[in-house]
Amino acid sequence: MPLTSINHFLIRSNDLEKSRAFYQDVLGMAQVPRPDFPFPGYWLGVAGAAQVHLAPGAIENAPLYFIGTPEGAATDNSGVIDHVAFLAEDPLAFVEHLKGLGVSYRPRYLSDSRLFQLFVKDPDGITVELNFFNVDDSVDWGGEDYSAMPRAN
């Protein structure tokens, strides 16, 4: 009975519209149908699959609606979450897209796995990792090279 994929994660955002715009305009997600919950929010996904749920950070009756959020977590950034990762395609186009939007990113490359990564921050400070597999190392991707990083003991 193994897990097969992530269904979604919910972000309680400090600015719901700014977060919606980030996931739509920067990451290319689209709104997908959302049930009529008793609080505002959005479901965003790719190809109709819900992947990111957004809800307001400060809201009346929050303990009733959000069972997984400790007090203060919605306004103190991402708590114990370090990052959320997505698979992506066409890294050169994605880099140009981010540059065109003026979105800061941090690139990394792991030559052993032919894995190129881009790290961006959403409006609430959550790090979003974009993974591009089978990327040729002949391109100068810039950024950090995992193979050149010091090893932790």
Q: Which of 50, 76, 102 is the last residue of a domain?
A: 76
Q: Which of 34, 55, 76 is the last residue of a domain?
A: 76
Do 64 and 92 have their domain in common? no
Q: How many domains does the chain have?
A: 2
Do 68 and 86 have their domain in common? no
Do 61 and 128 have their domain in common? no
Provide the percentage of residues in the chain whose pLDDT is more than 90.
Answer: 25
CATH number, position 99: 3.10.180.10
Indicate the residue type of 50: A
Question: In whole angstroms, how far apart are CA 133 and each of 15, 49, 126?
Answer: 32, 21, 22
Cβ-count burial 1-35 (b if 16+ within 10 Å, e if not) = eeeeeeeeeebbbbebeebbebbeebbebeebeee
**pLDDT-derived band at 79, boundaries 50, 70, 90:** very low
Do 3 and 52 have their domain in common? yes
Do 37 and 66 have their domain in common? yes
- pTM over the 0.85 mark: no
Do 23 and 57 have their domain in common? yes
Give the per-residue pLDDT at 21.
97
Name the phi and psi angles at 98, rounded to 5: -65, -45
Range of the domain at 55: 1-76
Do 81 and 150 have their domain in common? yes
Question: In whole angstroms, how far apart are CA 121 and each of 32, 46, 126?
Answer: 22, 19, 5
Do 85 and 62 have their domain in common? no
38/150 Cα distance (integer angstroms): 49
Q: Which of 76, 91, 116 is the last residue of a domain?
A: 76
68/40 Cα distance (integer angstroms): 17
92/142 Cα distance (integer angstroms): 12
Neighbours of 69 (CB within 10 A): 16
Tens of pLDDT, residues 114-143: 888 898 999 988 888 888 888 876 666 677
